[in-house]
Amino acid sequence: MGNHIIEPSPIHQLHMKHTSSIYDLYLTLLDDHPQEKATQIVKEYCLSNFPHTMEDQLAYLEFFYMNDYFTDLEYFLQSYQVDDQAKVLYGILYRRVHKKFTSEDLEWVETLHFEHPSLHCLHIFTKIYGYYDLMKFTGMDKFMDVIYQALLRVEEPLFHYYMKLRYNEVLFNHYWKTDYPLLAKKHAYKIINIELSPRRKCQIHHNLALCSLYDGYNAAIDHANIALNIARLHGFEGVISGITNHTIPFIAAFHQKTDGIDTPDPVEKAHLFLARGEYPEAIAILEKLESLTPFQECYLGFARRDRAMMNNSYHRFISENGDYFFARLPKTYLERF
């Protein structure tokens, strides 16, 4: 791959006032190495050369984070020489790898303020992630203009490269959940064919599987299988469980392609019963639940042939989550009555 991958566009180059040491190294390596090999060499350089300037520190931290080098990220965050504001923001992002935001987390993050252009940009992304973790998918709406303007202010090219990846990821989610799947896929395909960390590439294919739900069984299941193969290759046990026990049964049940499909997850087991016309079995499972998510209310409403439940499920997808994409689910099932 050519080094144009990480180079900013000519317009963005006008805003670049600083260049990190690892950007220069990465750019040189990409002339003669595939990105995967160049990335590994840059990692080894980072572990042997501590960054002292602010731009270098941020480039290191973002490089570690976006390539899933979380052990190295944690190590650098423990150094007294790393800028305190950078520690705060990357500490939040590092904790989020293991535990999603709570409402209290998001409220606190929204009180923070960062003057440095790169930290300011990353702070906006962090707030967006908080809204997504809380399943408030319309949270991106108020950031559409400010995040683009913040990207223009980033002054270091490698950090800018990773911010563009983040930008396409959040726009994928935004357009997916607001039910513009063609626009969503446009942003996914901007990044899916470049060299990403295995976990990130797995996640994109997993999301594309769900985003392709209404495009037919093969369109959805192909992405699910790609994600599963990546997860198995790299031993992502939690992801393997999620795809095999939830995503694949969900796609199979929706498209009524259930031969050989089973799951220990009771809700998706009920979904499979629905696909097979075994409504009493589905009802028996779903009626035991203390409270119903919009998905579960959709399933139970379908099993009972209860149009009021189905319509309520539709409105809950929108009012509770801002999820216009999956709000189509109860409408689709209503057409099957």
Chain centroid to CA 179: 16
Residue 137 Cα distances to 205, 303, 312, 324, angstroms = 19, 28, 19, 9
Predicted local distance difference test score (pLDDT) of residue 3: 56
Give the separation between CA 206 and CA 221, rounded to whole angstroms: 10
* Greatest Cα-to-Cα distance within the chain, rounded to the nearest angstrom: 66
Predicted structure pTM score = 0.91
Residue 136 Cα distances to 2, 248, 298, angstroms = 38, 24, 19
Which residue is it, tokens 């923070």? 112
Give the separation between CA 148 and CA 80, rounded to whole angstroms: 32
- Asked if residue 151 belongs to a domain, the reply is yes
Predicted local distance difference test score (pLDDT) of residue 53: 92
Tell me the DSSP string of 170-237: HHHHHHHHTT-HHHHHHHHHHHHTS---HHHHHHHHHHHHHHTGGG-HHHHHHHHHHHHHHHHHHT-H
- Asked if residue 271 belongs to a domain, the reply is no
Please state the domain count of the chain. Answer: 1
> What is the residue-level pLDDT of the chain in tens, covering all 337 positions?
445 688 887 777 777 888 999 999 999 999 889 888 999 999 999 999 999 899 999 999 999 999 999 999 999 999 989 999 999 999 999 999 999 999 999 999 999 999 999 999 999 999 999 999 998 888 888 898 899 999 999 999 999 999 999 999 999 999 999 999 999 999 999 888 777 789 999 999 999 999 999 999 999 999 999 999 999 999 999 999 999 999 999 999 999 999 999 999 999 999 999 999 999 999 999 999 989 999 999 999 999 999 999 999 999 999 998 999 999 999 999 999 8
Which residue is it, tokens 């705060």? 88
Which structural domain, as residue segments, surrounds residue 129? 1-196
Give the separation between CA 276 and CA 258, rounded to whole angstroms: 8
Contact 132, 139 (CB under 8 A): yes
Predicted local distance difference test score (pLDDT) of residue 1: 43
Closest-CA residue to 167 (of 122, 106, 227): 122
- Asked if residue 186 belongs to a domain, the reply is yes
Give the separation between CA 300 and CA 298, rounded to whole angstroms: 6
- Asked if residue 7 belongs to a domain, the reply is yes
Residues 6 or more apart from 110 whose CB is under 8 A from it? 127, 130
Give the separation between CA 275 and CA 210, rounded to whole angstroms: 18
Predicted local distance difference test score (pLDDT) of residue 13: 74
Considering just the CA atoms, what is the radius of gyration of the chain in Å?
A: 22
- Asked if residue 310 belongs to a domain, the reply is no
Residues 6 or more apart from 104 whose CB is under 8 A from it? none
Give the separation between CA 294 and CA 300, rounded to whole angstroms: 10
- Asked if residue 262 belongs to a domain, the reply is no
Residue 319 Cα distances to 1, 100, 222, 314, 323, angstroms = 45, 21, 31, 9, 8
Give the separation between CA 96 and CA 89, rounded to whole angstroms: 11
Q: Rounded to the nearest 5°, which phi and psi values hold at 309?
A: -65, -40
- Asked if residue 21 belongs to a domain, the reply is yes
- Asked if residue 143 belongs to a domain, the reply is yes
